[in-house]
Amino acid sequence: MPLMKSWVASANTPDTPFPLNNLPYGVFCSTGSDTQPPFGPYCGVAIGNMILNITDLEHEYFQYNVDPVFDIGCWNEFMELGPDTWAEFRAKLIEMLSENSPYQPEIETHLVAQSDVEMLMPFVVQEYTDFYAGRQHAANMGAILRGSPDLPANWLHIPIGYNGRASSVVVSGTDIHRPNGQMKAPDAEMPSFGPSKRLDIELEMGAIVGTASEFGKPITVDEADAMIFGYVLLNDWSARDIQGWEYQPLGPFQGKAFGTSISPWIVTSAALEPFRAPTPPREKDLLPYLNSTVDGLYNIDLEVLMQPQGATTATSLSKTNYNRMYYSAAEQLCHHAVGGCGMNAGDLLGSGTISGPDKSEYGSLMEVSWAGREPFTLDTGETRTFIEDGDQLTLRGAAKGDGYQIGFGDCAGTILPAVKHP
């Protein structure tokens, strides 16, 4: 599909992440000033370097219920209206924003510059589940922690995951405090308590469930695929030393619960449709309930950058692609519900760390530095093994089309010193 032209000039350049082909959904408020307080929140759609204020336009153009759905500063109520309404809304937006659209004089005054707003959480996260579905990452972690890249016995049969903390999911730009926790050095007799010394990131994609499933009722992979509203970039911040002491036998807990960052724009499944990619050949056949008729991954280029405090530029640490995953989001969602777990509109599924076969494609610092044994050098000349206070970590991603790209906006966070425990 080629670039779709818009009357919003900034949407027609090949370097914009938000052409008419994209139209991602977010929530914003004004930054305010010395004389004017902030206003919002509003639901908005990104187009070029502008945002179309949907909350302001709802009454005249987007009434789907007796009661408004865009007046509460999140996209959850709209999600619940289902795929037919999602398609109708997107078609209307394309009609309104296309080149030579008769709607231009009516809606142009409802555009606001992205540079003049603050982005907020685009949806209320109902539940958060994080998966471990990148094969290269799982093999690397096995080699680092157990001396062998062999996978756990169940790994090639099911998408492994754990239930995380929805309350810890924050939007890009939110600072993250280094977590305190309990750790134990291999040669120590007793554990110690204090700030994590091995703070890490995990490069992931987040899938957002848009329609609910019934409690007690499993769903197929194809049904799960239709339930997914859209995707965000996701940084699963990880305290490796806290995690290493606590995770057996029940898995991640405080080593993950202190923060998960997402990008500010929900890129819809419809916008990503031209970029579908197959899951890799299966080393072992999946059980029939995980079969599907559609390609479940997407061809999305991804990048990890680190910028130390005081540096003027960021260093690129890794470049990979979402198509490196072994399990798709739809397969993960299907497996999540197979025992009868009811899924909710607003549930967030983390893909698991996305790594490719080369070191240049590793999606965590644990892999890049090989658990601290191989320090890496930044463009500033500084070296790192894990994250230091003041470092800003940024995830970027875009699906590349014919003369355009479908971007997500940066997923960034800066690490602040640990809060002193009382």
Instruction: Please give the Cα distance from 123 to 101 (Å, whole number).
Output: 30
* Token pair belonging to 416: 């602040």
CA 381 to chain centre: 30
Instruction: Please give the Cα distance from 297 to 329 (Å, whole number).
Output: 8
137 is catalytic: yes
The continuous run of DSSP H or E covering 182 comes out as strand 180-183
CA 395 to chain centre: 9
Peptide bond into 249 cis (omega under 30): yes
| Phi then psi dihedrals of residue 176, to 5 deg | -120, 125
Instruction: Please give the Cα distance from 304 to 306 (Å, whole number).
Output: 7
Half-sphere CA count of 5, side-chain side, radius 13 A: 4
* Token pair belonging to 100: 């030579």
Instruction: Please give the Cα distance from 50 to 109 (Å, whole number).
Output: 11
Burial of 21 (0-12, 13-18, 19+ CB in 10 A): buried
- Catalytic residue chosen out of the listed positions 137, 157, 335, 336: 137
DSSP label of 257: T
Instruction: Please give the Cα distance from 371 to 291 (Å, whole number).
Output: 36
Instruction: Please give the Cα distance from 176 to 418 (Å, whole number).
Output: 9
Beta-strand ranges (E) seen in 236-360 are 238-239, 260-262, 267-268, 276-277, 297-298, 301-307, 315-321, 348-350
Instruction: Please give the Cα distance from 223 to 186 (Å, whole number).
Output: 46
Instruction: Please give the Cα distance from 182 to 163 (Å, whole number).
Output: 21
Using alpha carbons, select from 274, 278, 302, 306 the residue that is nearest to residue 292: 278
Contact between residue 17 and residue 409 where contact means Cβ atoms under 8 Å apart: yes
- Is residue 76 classed as helix, strand or coil in its secondary structure? helix
Single-letter code of the amino acid located at 421: H
Question: How many other β-carbons are positioned within 10 Å of the β-carbon of residue 278?
Answer: 11
Residues recognised as catalytic: 137
